Structure 1
């Protein structure tokens, strides 16, 4: 449906994350999540600088809706040992 873009700032007790998501097609959704300050809360002069490198804790999520009841999603998170999972979801509406 048009230009659906999702942007959020999540404030956790220890870190701030930025989440960017977009429907690339009506059935394909892509989301990227990154930490804005991995070394704790920034001081007055310490403004986080955007980085294009893949950092530990960064996440990538992709979901493809096959039809209104079935979807396939995948999740990747960069850590010491990379985390990757694939889900197949079925939804029943009544």
Structure 2
């Protein structure tokens, strides 16, 4: 995995972990009847949007890297040599 794609993936994993933690805290606040439940729920919605963008960022970074740096061209098993008579 190229470095920019790996960095985007690490960012996404950290953001998703923080979002899941925030959702659990919002759920626990709701169950406890705390005043913090509503602000936590609203910020969880915003964090979910950011986490969605972070996951899309992996795909976008991967596509941009492929366009800029290309794919290493190697013959696959489907690529066959032409017979000596037909060239």
Normalised to the residue count of structure 2, the TM-score between the two structures is: 0.22
Greater Rg by CA: 2
Normalised to the residue count of structure 1, the TM-score between the two structures is: 0.21
The structure where strand makes up a greater share of residues is 1
The structure where helix makes up a greater share of residues is 2
